[in-house]
Structure 1
Amino acid sequence: MNKKQNNTFFINTLIIIITNFVVKMLGLINKIAITRMLGTNGMSLYVLSFPTIMLFISIAGFSLNITISKLVSEAIVSRKYSPKKLVKKSCLYSVLLSFIMLILYLIFLKPLTIHFLKNEDLFYPLLAGAPLIMLVGISDGLKGYFTGIKKMHISSLGNLIEQIGRIGFSLIFLYIMLPYGIITATFFCLLALSFGEICAIIYSLIKIKKYPIESYDNTSGEGKAIIAMAVPTTTSRLIGNFTYFLEPILYTTILSYLGYKVTDIQTTYTILDAYTIPLLTFISFLPFALSTAMVPSVSEASALNKTNSLHYYIRKSLTFCLIPSIILSINLFLFANEYMNLIYGTTEGTTYIKYLTFMFICYYLHIPIVAILQASGYAKKVFITSTIIHIIRLLLLVVLSFIPCIGLNSVLIATTATMILGFIVNLIQLIKITKFRFQLSSMISLILISIIGFSVAILLKKWDVHYLFILGITSIIILSLAIWQKLIWIESFKQNFLKRKKLRENS
């Protein structure tokens, strides 16, 4: 890999991480505000509406973000496809799919709330998701184009504008509509998602004038290429979201049949879905940011058969995701109650965090692995694995629900078990396909760094040091040791520093 490629990859990753961090923090502030304004009942409606909305969005979006990103980056290198045709056809497919899904959504909405979710109050919150179905595909296609041409700052800023618009409208709507009842307030809070998407689309359309989409002559097969990439990726996401959609339905139906109160079931599910899992996946913006930045570079490396470059991206992405997840796991293991109370203003859902936090390191590593497989042209393999894993997840949920000592905890155990299984299977596939091998010295270094960080955290806790100070100390120690052992790359820092220094000297 040459220095220019390394520098571009680093800068793109840094831009996305910083922007996603800001988006995450804004989302966290928004979630805290919404939680406190809506209360447990309102949040229950909000959380239970999401699986259904996400199911339809996953189809309407047609995975255009990653699809267009991959195909445009390949088109620029090989000129096999025309970027303009790719964007036009992707938008056409998205509009057609969105229209079909919107009609189906409106038809099945009422029976879904009455017969499956068993809560008629969910009708209007779910109805608020209808406009989003028509918008998400167009938005994803435009963001995918900018990612494909490696203008990460545009797609990242689009996400930031979307989040700001979403938060602004949701807080305004909540302030105005709360006196009219929880259902009305939740409806408008979910409707704010569509307003945020509109803001992102407007921004992307403005930026296209500055970066017009190129058109190449004598190209063909753009439609087939989009379908070949988008169908397995979308189907994989669809199965995941369909599982997410079925999860509360099966959970509620089985446990209510077994004699549990519906209110207890819904409260437990809300706590797990709104507090426990979000805290365990709190820094997920890091691997997702890295995955987004990697797609164009990995696609190019794969298209040009640059094995060394591909191995470089695998090694750096896994290490970069592993280090922060270790820091998070150590601190959540020792201070689950403190962090839950700090972020969400409650200690509900902290019971399992201590036991699951180290297991969720697999979650952070799984995200870039899937992205690399998809960008390398193995979306079909990811789809097959995902399908099997999600079927196992639903079967586990059903079986575990009938075990008295598990009962209400069945959904959390099923989610964790299949998350680990999916990680292992896709990791094996990645190693087999790319011939990638882990360096023994790096693995030993990571284990020793983790032990040192954990030992320091335990020692500081015994001395009654404040938990946020311990977070800072462990982060500094682990990151410093990782940089010292060259586990985290700093080449681009040096390159940029020397480049700026040279420019200053010349001027």
Structure 2
Amino acid sequence: MPQRSFFHGAMVLIAASLVTRIMGFAYRIVLTRMIGAAGIGLFQMVFSVLSLILTFVTAGLPVAISKLVAEAIVQNDRVRVERILRVSVTVILSMAGVFTVLMWFGRHLIFHYWLTDPRAYPTYICMIPIVAVIAVSSIYRGYFQGLQDMSPPAWAAILEQTVRIASVWVLAAYFIHYSIAYAAAAAMIGMVLGEIAGLLFLVVQQRYRGRLSVILSDAPARSLESAQQTLHAIIEIAAPVTLNRLIGSLIFAIEPVLVTRSLLKAGISTSTATALYGQYGGMAIPLLVFPTVFTSSLAVNLVPAVSEAIADDKRSRVDARLNQTFIATALVGLPASVVLTVFAEPLCRIIFGESSVGPILALMAPAGFLLYLQGPLTGVLQGLNRAGMVTLNSSIGGVLRLLFVYLLASRPHLGILGVAIALTISVTITTGLHIWTTYRMIGFSVNFADIGKILVATTVVLAVLTVLVPHPAHVTAGPLTAAIFAGVIVYFALLCAFGVLTVARVSRLPKIGIPLARVVRWMPFAH
């Protein structure tokens, strides 16, 4: 495929992710004000269990589908694509059926031995139907990503979020009159309805624009590899990805239990511990990870793009992808980390009406850039068939995170801040290991001169924001928005003056490239 396809796929996903993330923020703001930190804590408690179950159900196959379909398309091997999908569908549907039954019949065990707050039980019951829906959707998403046709998954995500928001606003507003437990369950019902809408959209899109009989109409009747080789290739990719996600999901599932028990050990009541976890997981974390709207889209697109480059024996293209991704992450991640650190308290106060969330966010935000870099590096390593190293690195960071949560959150003078410190340590170690692994595999072909220029521009923006908002604790929404907007303008102008953003570079971006190039050309000292 032409090099432009990488940018096109990435931009489509970024645009869709930005829309859905903004919609999600609007939804979360209203939901937080409806059901409070305690209700959000109940939802997050159950959501961590869902992530663990989905890891077993999908078994890393969406990544395998994406990677192997991309390779098969390059090789014009329609039979191989059909075989990949057939195996994946069989495994995923079987696992979805098994775990749906287990979740229902094991509900009492979950209630008594896993949920630290019994009010989370209705949310758990409402979660059960969603497993099969997400499992089937993952097949379609992996397939379209393998085709590097990112529009159907992108529009499906927007539709999911739209249905979810509408459902939650209606249901939560009704059930909050009964209890917080039922309101949190309503949020889960909204998620189920959204996923169903997205799945139906993907099914229709596959019929219209994803049929292999059209995409590979001139493919030979025989595959270039045997069925055994295809199965081996699927297992080779899916197994380490599954292990990686299993460990990550297990850590994510254990975290709320460990956090609440550590807070109880610190002398905090159960209801307060649930509310504190809601502040951390339902408010501070969403703000922290918002910039991943850009980097996670790059990560998704990198797996098939790197796989295609390797299959086509074009190593230079892999180096180019790594450099482009690192620069793009720095462009967004460095200033985002600064803004989230400096304005943690007013952002949480203005958005969620909870200024007490600010210190939690401020502790984690300085490591934001490293967090945003994890996804793209994971995409590169998975595209290079090194998912096993991703698993090892993530496991080390995850285990250390749980260890530090236990050691720090149980201390009365730290409490929930100990969880934030533990996450920061974990992110730093995991990303450092990913960088080292990537360097060992392919080197680190990154233009560090551009990184230095971005750092200088970020420092100048920090100075500008400090002047415009000398007292962040008292700033209101209007002045804060104006200051951040001014900072963005200064940042953009400096990047143009330093030659990081040039007319030639930005004009390559699909859709927005030409108009953005005109803006760059107007900037003083632009290249």
Report if TM-score (shorter chain) is over 0.5: yes
Paired residues for 1:38-117 under 5 Å: 38-79=35-76, 82-117=80-115
In the alignment, which residue of structure 2 is the partner of 1:425?
433
Q: CA deviation at 1:483?
A: 4.0
Range 253-262 or range 295-304, more displaced = 253-262
In the alignment, which residue of structure 1 is the partner of 2:317?
309
Distance 1:355 1:481 in 2: 28
Q: Does the CA contact (< 8 Å) of 1:62 and 1:137 recur in 2? A: no
Q: CA deviation at 1:484?
A: 4.3
Query: What letter matches 2:296 in structure 1?
Result: F
Q: Alpha carbons of 1:259 and 1:440: their partners in 2 closer, same or farther (altered >3 Å)?
A: closer
Paired residues for 1:154-165 under 5 Å: 154-165=152-163
Matched position secondary structure for 2:359:
coil
1:137-164 CA-to-partner distances (Å, cap 9, x unmatched) read 2101101111211211111111111111
Range 450-459 or range 20-29, more displaced = 450-459
Q: Does the CA contact (< 8 Å) of 1:110 and 1:123 recur in 2? A: no
Distance 1:494 1:360 in 2: 28
Distance 1:451 1:58 in 2: 40
In the alignment, which residue of structure 2 is the partner of 1:353?
361
Q: CA deviation at 1:492?
A: 6.4
* Corresponding position: 1:169 with 2:167: yes
Range 447-456 or range 28-37, more displaced = 447-456
Q: Alpha carbons of 1:314 and 1:37: their partners in 2 closer, same or farther (altered >3 Å)?
A: same
In the alignment, which residue of structure 2 is the partner of 1:128?
126
Distance 1:75 1:491 in 2: 33
1:44-65 CA-to-partner distances (Å, cap 9, x unmatched) read 3212221112211222233343
Distance 2:408 2:37 in 1: 26
In the alignment, which residue of structure 2 is the partner of 1:476?
489
Distance 1:498 1:471 in 2: 22
Distance 1:404 1:172 in 2: 39
1:195-237 CA-to-partner distances (Å, cap 9, x unmatched) read 2111111111111122203575323333332222122112211
- Which of the residues 270, 294, 300 maps onto 1:292? 300
Distance 1:307 1:279 in 2: 36
Q: CA deviation at 1:24?
A: 0.5
In the alignment, which residue of structure 1 is the partner of 2:222?
218
Q: CA deviation at 1:71?
A: 1.1
Q: CA deviation at 1:381?
A: 1.1
- Which of the residues 270, 274, 279 maps onto 1:262? 270
Q: Alpha carbons of 1:434 and 1:500: their partners in 2 closer, same or farther (altered >3 Å)?
A: closer
Distance 1:261 1:434 in 2: 51
Q: Does the CA contact (< 8 Å) of 1:288 and 1:368 recur in 2? A: yes
Range 262-271 or range 368-377, more displaced = 262-271
1:452-503 CA-to-partner distances (Å, cap 9, x unmatched) read 22222222224999221221122122233334444357546535699999xx
In the alignment, which residue of structure 2 is the partner of 1:20?
17
Q: Alpha carbons of 1:413 and 1:330: their partners in 2 closer, same or farther (altered >3 Å)?
A: closer
Q: Does the CA contact (< 8 Å) of 1:64 and 1:137 recur in 2? A: no
In the alignment, which residue of structure 2 is the partner of 1:450?
458
Distance 2:296 2:512 in 1: 30
With normalisation by structure 1, the TM-score equals 0.91
Distance 1:403 1:46 in 2: 25
Q: CA deviation at 1:22?
A: 0.6
Range 137-146 or range 380-389, more displaced = 380-389
Q: Does the CA contact (< 8 Å) of 2:251 and 2:398 recur in 1? A: yes
1:110-143 CA-to-partner distances (Å, cap 9, x unmatched) read 2222233332222111111111111112101101
Q: Alpha carbons of 1:258 and 1:39: their partners in 2 closer, same or farther (altered >3 Å)?
A: closer
Q: Does the CA contact (< 8 Å) of 2:58 and 2:135 recur in 1? A: yes
Q: Does the CA contact (< 8 Å) of 1:147 and 1:293 recur in 2? A: yes
Distance 1:493 1:321 in 2: 15
Q: Alpha carbons of 1:334 and 1:489: their partners in 2 closer, same or farther (altered >3 Å)?
A: same
Paired residues for 1:454-465 under 5 Å: 454-462=462-470
Paired residues for 1:394-405 under 5 Å: 394-405=402-413
Q: Does the CA contact (< 8 Å) of 1:393 and 1:415 recur in 2? A: yes
With normalisation by structure 2, the TM-score equals 0.88
Distance 1:24 1:497 in 2: 21
Distance 1:173 1:61 in 2: 29
Q: CA RMSD in A?
A: 2.5
Query: What letter matches 2:211 in structure 1?
Result: P
Question: Structure 2: which 5+ runs fail to align?
Answer: 516-527
* Corresponding position: 1:251 with 2:255: no
Query: What letter matches 1:391 in structure 2?
Result: V
Q: Does the CA contact (< 8 Å) of 2:408 and 2:418 recur in 1? A: yes
Q: Does the CA contact (< 8 Å) of 1:329 and 1:358 recur in 2? A: yes
Distance 1:424 1:110 in 2: 41
In the alignment, which residue of structure 1 is the partner of 2:198?
200
Distance 2:268 2:514 in 1: 65
Distance 1:75 1:128 in 2: 39
Distance 2:507 2:257 in 1: 53
Q: Alpha carbons of 1:442 and 1:469: their partners in 2 closer, same or farther (altered >3 Å)?
A: same
Q: Alpha carbons of 1:483 and 1:104: their partners in 2 closer, same or farther (altered >3 Å)?
A: farther
Matched position secondary structure for 2:148:
coil
1:156-207 CA-to-partner distances (Å, cap 9, x unmatched) read 1111111112222222322443334332332232022222111111111111
Q: Does the CA contact (< 8 Å) of 2:260 and 2:277 recur in 1? A: no
1:287-316 CA-to-partner distances (Å, cap 9, x unmatched) read 111112222211111222322111111111
- Which of the residues 333, 341, 361 maps onto 1:333? 341
Q: Does the CA contact (< 8 Å) of 2:326 and 2:373 recur in 1? A: yes
1:74-104 CA-to-partner distances (Å, cap 9, x unmatched) read 1111246622222222121111111222233
In the alignment, which residue of structure 1 is the partner of 2:500?
487
Distance 1:274 1:244 in 2: 13
- Which of the residues 27, 33, 58 maps onto 2:30? 33
Q: CA deviation at 1:29?
A: 1.0
Distance 1:426 1:104 in 2: 35
In the alignment, which residue of structure 2 is the partner of 1:235?
243
In the alignment, which residue of structure 1 is the partner of 2:2?
5
Q: Does the CA contact (< 8 Å) of 1:7 and 1:492 recur in 2? A: no
Query: What letter matches 2:109 in structure 1?
Result: P
Q: Does the CA contact (< 8 Å) of 1:70 and 1:299 recur in 2? A: yes
1:7-49 CA-to-partner distances (Å, cap 9, x unmatched) read 2222222111111111001111111121122233322321222
Query: What letter matches 1:174 in structure 2?
Result: A
Distance 1:55 1:398 in 2: 21
Question: Structure 1: which 5+ runs fail to align?
Answer: 502-507
Q: Sequence identity of aligned pairs in percent?
A: 21
